Amino acid sequence: MVATRARILNTSSELFGRQGYAGTGMNEIVAKAEAALGSIYHFFPGGKDQLCEETIRASGRIYLELIEAVLDEASDIGQGVDDFFSGAAAQVVATDFADACPIATIALEVASTNEDLRRATADVFESWLNAASQRLEQAGIAPLQARRLSLFALSALEGAFVLSRAQRNVDAIDAAGSYVTAVIREALPRSRRQRREPGDEPRN
């Protein structure tokens, strides 16, 4: 039973992320998840809205763990941000520009029409911003500036996802990653800045 619920959530995350809320039907979800239609209403009695909200929050936790892992494993916060953008570009290419950020895909569609789903996406984004802000503060950046830099980084990444999917290249992600990384490195206390290599400057 637990495995069935997990399959439904994983499938929902993929389909909602690629097709949006309105473009994804319950029958399609259960068919791809190899589950009975009744199992959705067993696990998610609130129907499609509850399934979508739980998918948003579950996906958000997975991406939060990824953000934390990439930033924490890097040699410094600037390298961590650069690594995250590079990984995002690789993922978009690997999925033939189909998978970017499922949270943003849903948020763009439902933010003005479904308050419960809007709140779920906002909560997920806030968890990501808090994780990034905490690590920027640990690197010596003041709290207000850390918050603004996190907003800048997330906004740049989500906008770059949209352009990359439309243009079918990762130029926008590469450019956003270069400039966000450069801005964050400049914001670090001088004692914590690592020497840049010749290829580290923002690309035109």
Residue 194 has pLDDT above 90, yes or no: no
Could you report the per-residue pLDDT of 16-44, keeping only the tens digit for each? Answer: 988 889 999 999 999 999 999 899 899 99
**Rounded CA gap, 32 and 7, in Å?**
9
Determine the pLDDT at residue 168.
96
Confidence of residue 204 (pLDDT cuts 50, 70, 90): very low
Let me know if domain 48-200 sits in CATH 3.40.50.620. Answer: no
Could you report the per-residue pLDDT of 100-159, keeping only the tens digit for each? Answer: 788 998 998 998 999 999 999 999 999 999 999 999 999 999 999 999 999 999 999 999
Residue 195 has pLDDT above 50, yes or no: no
Determine the pLDDT at residue 193.
60
In the chain, the percentage of residues whose pLDDT exceeds 90 is: 80
Here the contacts of 37-40 (C-beta below 8 Å, separation 24 or greater) are: 39/4, 39/5, 39/8, 40/8
- CA distances to 19, 25, 86 from 28, rounded to whole Å, are 11, 5, 32
Residue 198 has pLDDT above 70, yes or no: no
